[in-house]
Structure 1
Amino acid sequence: MNFAQFFLILRARQRIIWITLVTVVAVTAVVSLLIPKTYKATASVLLNYKGVDPVTGLTLPGQLLPGYMATQIDIISSKNVALRVVDALKLADNPAVVQQFNDANGGGNVRDWLASLLLRKLEIVPSKESSVVEISFGGADPQFVSAVANAFADEYQKISVQLRVEPMRKASAYFDGQTKQLRDALEAAQSRLSKYQQEHGIVSIDNRLDVESNRLNDLSTQLVVAQGLATEAKSRQEMALSPNGAASPDVASNPLIQNLKSSLGVAEAKFADVSQRLSQNHPQYIAAKAELDKLREDLRTQQALIGSSVGNNAQIMKQREGAIRAATAEQKAKVLELNRTRDEMGVLMKDVESAQRAFDATSLRSAQTKIEGQSEQSDISVLNPATPPTAPSQPKPLLNVLLSIFFGSLLGVGLGFCAELFDRRVRSERDLVEALQIPVLGAITWNPPKRRRFGKLKPLARLGTN
């Protein structure tokens, strides 16, 4: 079908098209004028929500949470918010509303029924590129629809605070229990540490360990010195007690030995002189010899005494070395015991420090959560409150008529084509070729005579005059 055939069909069926168009437009206009007017009020709310984990305290912007806006829309359109709106506006206390509910349902809960009716007429439109949500409500009363829209915005703001505060309060209760447990653990750790210090008499383990370590170092130094002195004393003892003891430095350097040696030398010289001049039986010879023997005996006695003295000194040095060695061993055992005590006490101190850190962190988080749980500040703010509309949102007669013209035209054209399908006629040479499948040799142009209205009544009129 080409455009010419389409135009011929429209021209032939224009009566059906015009009747359909006029009928649709007329019905639309009448219906637009007869249906009751509907008013629509809109309240805009701004969402500034930030998600906070009540346990970890991590903060995440609400816009980054998956499904954030859909969740807020579900909250606004929830039955809980609708019930709060019913209670805020005291709709269930209106006798007319209760009577209407009884007539419609015959029993049940009027609050649930009213909440369902409000949710049916509620419309929520979120912004695509911002955090603004529009809450719209439609009805026959401008004042009522604006009050309901504002009530939904207010109750959504309140319930958002409740939904944010309740987890914080539960988390606060959880942190209170954890704080009590951690406080008990800290007190138990401190008690174990104090008991350990009392049992071992520890005031300051670091200072005490430093003192004992210094003492051990001093004893070690003294032991080395004592060992050297003991070794030297033993050597001097062995030399002093040897047959060649006179060559010992202790014996040779003794003043008494030196005096005895000098006297002995004088006595030996005197005896030699006497022995040359006198016989052995002479009294001077006997006296000189007795004096010489006495000096020699005294020298041997003094050498023996000095050797004994050197031996006693060596024994004293050896005993001192043993005493210092025992003291060093005892001090070393004490230092080792202090090291073991410090290690055990270090474990207890680490337990106390760990319990203290856990208690401090939990106490800080508990205080923060408790403050957040007591906060009544809402992250939802009303941007534009709803006002009573001055013009109805429905119906819109002009728009409806324009739409009826468009759809009426489409419907008329469709009905015209349907009529053409049921009563197909030849309207051009192409239709004849397509219908008979034969070529057209010629066409006769025929224009039907114009009809005259009341043409048959004129002869009768002339006949009546004759």
Structure 2
Amino acid sequence: MPVASPVEADRISILRQYLRIAFRWKYVIIGVTVACVLLGLVITLLMTPKYTATATVEIAREANQVTSFQGVERETGSLDQEFYQTQYGLLRSRALSERVATQLRLVDDPKFYELFREREDTPAFRLINGRYPSTGKAERQRVAGEILLRNLSVDPTRLSRLVDITFTSADPSFSARVANAWADNFIQTNLERKIQATSYGRNLLQRQLALQKERLDDSQRQLVAYASAQQIINLPAQGGGSGGPTVERSIVADDLAALNASLAQATAERIQAEARAQQGGRAGASAEALRNQAINNLRQRRAELAAEYQRLMVQFEPGYPAAQAIQTQIDQLDRSIAREEARVSGSVQAEYREAQQRESALQARVNQLKSSYLDNRRRSIQYNIYQQEVDTNRALYDGLLQRYKEVGVAGGVGVNNVSVVDTADVPQRPSSPRLVLNLLASLFVGLGLGALAAFALEQMDEAIADPAEVERRLGLPLLGSVPKVTDGTAPRDELLDRKSDLVDAYLAINTNLGFTTEHGVPRSFSVTSTRPAEGKSTTALALATMLARAGKRTILIDGDMRSPSVHHLGGVDHNHGLSNFLAGEDNIEALTFPMSDLGFIAMSAGPIPPNAAELLTGNRLGVLIDRLLERFDHVVIDSPPVMGLADAPLIASRVEGVVYAVESHGIRSSLVKTALGRLTAANARIFGGVLTKFDARKAHYGYGYEYGYGYGRGEPKKA
């Protein structure tokens, strides 16, 4: 079987906790839900039916172009969102609503104000002979526009240019009239704004055009006068296109560019000549000498004669006539080679000097043109300023002239970018109220409020409702839960019936108690609770009975010397008991009495002392427990409650530990925590908690805890 992870276990635990809260407070949740549903039903039935009419219009980003000209309005192609938001704002404008109210004659119609229950106590709305006074028409127009706006809705269709204009009222035909009138008036106002903007823009452009023409003429005259005075001659640029600013070039700049290119070429040639000149002084090893055909032929002939001379030297002496003749030829060839190499080197040097002179001449001319160009540029600064002014004025003039022509044509076209797609029809069914939708909404609201109420009540409720909360809220190990005894039945009688649920419960508790120490059930322990009447005496009596039935010698001591109860169970008085021993009496036999039907010995509380806490502060209680453990296997003490008394902590410090009884549905967990803190401060060991008077029907889940007790006791069912 797969094991749930810690995260899944926590999730399941939280879910179970929510289910437990919901089941516990189910009647609160159901009550709140039913109340909300009934309230929603009543409100829905009392509401006046409303009818909604819808007209659909299309708002295009740009108007349909009948001509190729554009309007006066500034183009904002990248701001579509801004454009459409502006159109939606215009649809909701106060001016448009008042225009619709005026067109439909709603301003002076009393039925219109009665339809929307608009009754203002002002002079403008006081009827005189069945009519409104004319003096308050402006105020009534404002109020009528506000009424229409409150009942109007503008809903753009997502990812489209369609817009739904919806109007809601109690009259279906009136809703359709208003929706259609709203769409028509929006188109009319849009056209009027365009016509007004075109007329205004045409007049404005005409005035600006005259001013710009005058500026252009003045700037041209100023440019020509300055060029003549400074003798600035510029040529038009080659390949210059029309429609843009005038581009000109200077003659000096052209000459400088040409000479600068020639200078670069001359410098490259001078560098090459210089390199050849430097190689010429390397004993004939220059590149020019190596490439010279005559020198190469002479060197080849000399090599042949040198080889012939070396062959003769093998057989003859240097003075041999034939050898001397060859040597003479070799010397003559050496002088010829030297003359040719000198001639080549002189030619290279001459070329180098010529390249230097040409480069110097070009450099001087370039420097001269640079000075002229810089002087021309200094004089052309103001010229360029005048030229830029002329170009700017000409561009502005041409643009205004073109715009003026376009506006003149577009002003008479009258195109519109808004059109009606669907007109509003008279609605046949009311749009509100919607019974099913309202009931569903009331149901969900009721469930939510009920859940909040249940959660709030759960947070305020500190009672221990089921056994699981003993450990969760109090931090105590759960030894077991004890079912509530039927009214009129004594716990002693239930213990005598070995088949009762009470016996089964305490058998389980006694079994769990056996796992609290290394030697099994503690030999000495006390049973206490937070306050009286929580079932601690019954728990002490039952645990003593279970131990006795297990064959253990057990004694039950009534440690509650303020309100003793054990002697009532044994049918004796409490004239002799615990208080006598604590006061100094040592005869234990005289202080005990048998409870034969339950199988153990008991010791009553004895005479009630003036201050029980003073008797418990000594060591007599410890001596008593030690002496009793010599004769008995277990000592069980019925301790007083913890709250308000010092007896229980004093007793708890003398025994091995404490069994703590907690009443189900009867005590707040905060009080129990305070009592447990007192026991902890006294260094008492708490073995665990016992949930007494538990009623499974009042538990959070309401089921499951009753299973087990009484199993098999009913009449056997037929198969």
Match of 1:443 in 2: 481
The 3-state SS of whatever aligns with 1:110 is helix
CA–CA distance in 1 between the matches of 2:31 and 2:408?
A: 75
Structure with greater proportional helix content: 1
Q: Establish whether residue 168 from structure 1 lines up as the match of residue 180 from structure 2.
A: no
Q: Establish whether residue 385 from structure 1 lines up as the match of residue 415 from structure 2.
A: no
Q: Percent identical across equivalent pairs?
A: 25
The answer (yes or no) to whether the contact 1:45–1:380 under 8 Å persists in 2 is: yes
The answer (yes or no) to whether the contact 1:38–1:393 under 8 Å persists in 2 is: yes
Question: Deviation digits for residues 166-188 of structure 1, max 9, x if unmatched?
Answer: 11111122234456778999999
CA–CA distance in 2 between the matches of 1:449 and 1:431?
A: 14
Q: Establish whether residue 69 from structure 1 lines up as the match of residue 99 from structure 2.
A: no
The 3-state SS of whatever aligns with 1:136 is strand
The answer (yes or no) to whether the contact 1:50–1:59 under 8 Å persists in 2 is: no
The answer (yes or no) to whether the contact 1:433–1:439 under 8 Å persists in 2 is: yes
How far residue 404 of structure 1 moved from its aligned partner, in angstroms, is 1.5
Higher RCO, 1 vs 2 (CA within 8 Å, ≥6 residues apart): 1
CA 5–444 in structure 1, closer or farther in 2 if over 3 Å, else same:
farther
Match of 2:109 in 1: 94
CA–CA distance in 2 between the matches of 1:73 and 1:31?
A: 34
Residue type of the alignment partner of 2:36:
V
The answer (yes or no) to whether the contact 2:70–2:410 under 8 Å persists in 1 is: no
Residue type of the alignment partner of 2:83:
Y
TM-score by length of 2: 0.35
Q: Establish whether residue 13 from structure 1 lines up as the match of residue 25 from structure 2.
A: yes
CA–CA distance in 2 between the matches of 1:426 and 1:391?
A: 56
Q: How many matched pairs?
A: 284
Question: Deviation digits for residues 365-424 of structure 1, max 9, x if unmatched?
Answer: 434313322333321100111112122222111011112212211211221222222233
Aligned partner (choices 178, 181, 185) of residue 148 of structure 1: 178
Match of 1:268 in 2: none
Aligned partner (choices 62, 74, 77) of residue 50 of structure 1: 62
How far residue 32 of structure 1 moved from its aligned partner, in angstroms, is 0.9
CA 406–96 in structure 1, closer or farther in 2 if over 3 Å, else same:
closer
Match of 1:22 in 2: 34
Match of 1:113 in 2: 143
Match of 1:261 in 2: none
Residue type of the alignment partner of 2:159:
E
CA–CA distance in 1 between the matches of 2:475 and 2:396?
A: 100
Question: Deviation digits for residues 288-319 of structure 1, max 9, x if unmatched?
Answer: xxxxxxxxxxxxxxxxxxxxxxxxxxxxxxxx
Residue type of the alignment partner of 1:413:
A
| Structural mapping, 1:124-273, within 5 Å | 124-177=154-207
CA 411–65 in structure 1, closer or farther in 2 if over 3 Å, else same:
closer
Match of 2:440 in 1: 402
How far residue 434 of structure 1 moved from its aligned partner, in angstroms, is 2.7
Match of 2:244 in 1: none
Question: Deviation digits for residues 422-459 of structure 1, max 9, x if unmatched?
Answer: 23332222212233332111234569799xxxxxxxxx
CA–CA distance in 1 between the matches of 2:397 and 2:19?
A: 90
5+ residue gaps, structure 2, are 1-12, 125-135, 219-391, 485-500, 502-694, 698-719
5+ residue gaps, structure 1, are 189-353, 451-466
Tell me how large the CA RMSD over aligned residues is.
3.8
Q: Select the structure of larger CA radius of gyration.
A: 1
How far residue 58 of structure 1 moved from its aligned partner, in angstroms, is 8.6
CA–CA distance in 2 between the matches of 1:17 and 1:102?
A: 42
Match of 1:286 in 2: none
The 3-state SS of whatever aligns with 1:124 is strand
The answer (yes or no) to whether the contact 1:82–1:119 under 8 Å persists in 2 is: yes
The 3-state SS of whatever aligns with 2:431 is coil
The answer (yes or no) to whether the contact 2:151–2:168 under 8 Å persists in 1 is: yes
CA 26–63 in structure 1, closer or farther in 2 if over 3 Å, else same:
farther
CA 20–182 in structure 1, closer or farther in 2 if over 3 Å, else same:
closer
The answer (yes or no) to whether the contact 2:215–2:393 under 8 Å persists in 1 is: yes
CA 63–44 in structure 1, closer or farther in 2 if over 3 Å, else same:
farther
